[in-house]
Copies of this chain bind each other. A is one copy, B any other.
Amino acid sequence: MITGHVFIATSLDGYIARPDGDIGWLLQRDDPDEDHGYKAFIADKDAIVMGRGTYEKVVEFGEWHYDRPVVVLSKQLQGSPVPERLRGKVRFTDLAPREAMQELERQGARKVYVDGGQVVQSFLREGLIADMVVTTVPVLIGAGRPLFGALPEDKDLALVASRSFPSGLVQSTWRVLA
């Protein structure tokens, strides 16, 4: 069975970006000398699913640092051409979360990195997330794009691990219980 996995950072008040999408507050608190485990996390993932917001933010950075196939879920981008430098690396689709995962499964994927607030929320609602690594950044930003959203019912979690870093980041791994 194909499963979705989250690896994401939020402010203590639960935002992944400011209202306008800015993540400067996050980047400026990233200590490049600390290993927050992204490499270990991505090692066994076969593909990455993200929304348009995350995709456009990453493209804006210039450098494309993903070495896994990326699927962008977007009704708006679907049908538009993938930028030349990203051909073969990125695919746009308007499939719903479950159908997008089924398609990835048919293509041989087993574990998928699910990134971006809106996409994480829709995948959680659909029961497509197996676990989440949530890193809390020591700041309150007061407003922004929340990591979590409305749910049809409570989602029970099991704590898998928790650790903190000298920079003040707290990283917890939660398994989503059925």
Contacts and interface: CB of A to CB of B under 8 A. Distances in A.
B158 A140 contact: no
Contacts of A153: 142
B142 A159 contact: no
B143 A14 contact: no
Contact of A138 (B124, B143, B157): B157
Interface in A145-178: 146-159, 162-164, 168-170, 172, 174
Contacts of A163: 162
B157 A12 contact: yes
B168 A154 contact: no
Interface of A: 12-14, 25, 124, 134, 136, 138-143, 146-159, 162-164, 168-170, 172, 174
Contacts of A141: 151, 154
A25 B147 CA distance: 21
A138 B154 contact: no
A142 B138 contact: no
A159 B136 CA distance: 10
Contact of A13 (B14, B25, B169, B172): B14
